[in-house]
């Protein structure tokens, strides 16, 4: 390992760079003006969700680095990434001008795509808890793809929709509203005795 990477920091930066490059590779493959917006986004969203499913640890590593301030990835973000999203933003603008997508800021639109697809890797613990599962399966990722597509393309969503998610049956609702901060303080006092 030391033959290729002289320090742990350089190795860490390379892992971050390769993960970001893989994310961008999918965008460069799918988000081009040669396809229609629905076809391009369908392929991209499914590819990003596949990446989230198969490379969750790498996705969480990048998320942790960014949340921590981006010390090891900031140069990549402000140089390489900024330049590499230009053709993607151009394609999004093109589809927006043709009314294939809602007219929004294309960079923020891209942020939303990243957030929605990476959520299933970065926040997996929350997702499985709320879906009352131990692991996500292919149907969960298919449902996620159709939901995201319905939101970004303003199309009908899932044909099969349960009346109420299972986890809601277990929740006991209080009649009296309590602020989240007040609730947290009350729970902390109870735990501390």
Answer whether 128's CB lies under 8 Å from 135's CB: yes
pLDDT, tens digit, 9 for 90 and up, residues 30-68 = 999 999 999 999 999 999 999 999 999 999 999 999 999
* Cα-based torsion angle of the residue sequence 109, 111, 117, 123 in order, rounded to the nearest 10 degrees: -140
**Sequence spans of domains, the chain:** 8-167
CATH 1.10.287.3510 fits 8-167, yes or no: no
pLDDT at 92 over 80: yes
pLDDT, tens digit, 9 for 90 and up, residues 60-87 = 999 999 999 999 999 988 998 999 999 9
Answer whether 120's CB lies under 8 Å from 45's CB: no
Calpha distance 64→66 (Å, rounded): 5
In degrees, to the nearest 5, what angle opens at C-alpha 41 toward C-alphas 144 and 138? 30
Q: Quick one: pLDDT band at residue 9, thresholds 50, 70, 90? A: confident
């Amino acid at each position: 390992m030391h033959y290729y990477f002289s320090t742990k920091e350089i190795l860490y930066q390379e892992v971050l760079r390769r993960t970001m490059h893989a994310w961008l590779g999918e965008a460069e493959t799918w988000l081009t003006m040669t396809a229609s917006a629905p076809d391009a986004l369908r392929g991209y969203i499914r590819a990003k969700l596949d990446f989230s499913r198969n490379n969750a640890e790498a996705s969480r590593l990048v998320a942790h680095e960014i949340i921590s301030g981006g010390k090891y990835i900031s140069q990549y973000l402000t140089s390489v990434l900024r330049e590499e999203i230009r053709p993607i933003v151009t394609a999004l603008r093109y589809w927006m001008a043709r009314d294939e997508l809602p007219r929004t800021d294309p960079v923020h639109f891209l942020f939303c795509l990243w957030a929605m697809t990476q959520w299933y890797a970065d926040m997996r613990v929350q997702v499985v808890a709320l879906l009352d599962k131990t692991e996500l399966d292919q149907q969960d990722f298919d449902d996620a793809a159709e939901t995201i597509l319905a939101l970004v393309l303003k199309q009908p969503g899932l044909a099969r929709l349960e009346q109420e998610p299972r986890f809601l049956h277990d929740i006991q609702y209080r009649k009296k509203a309590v602020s989240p901060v007040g609730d947290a303080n009350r729970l902390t006092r109870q735990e501390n005795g």
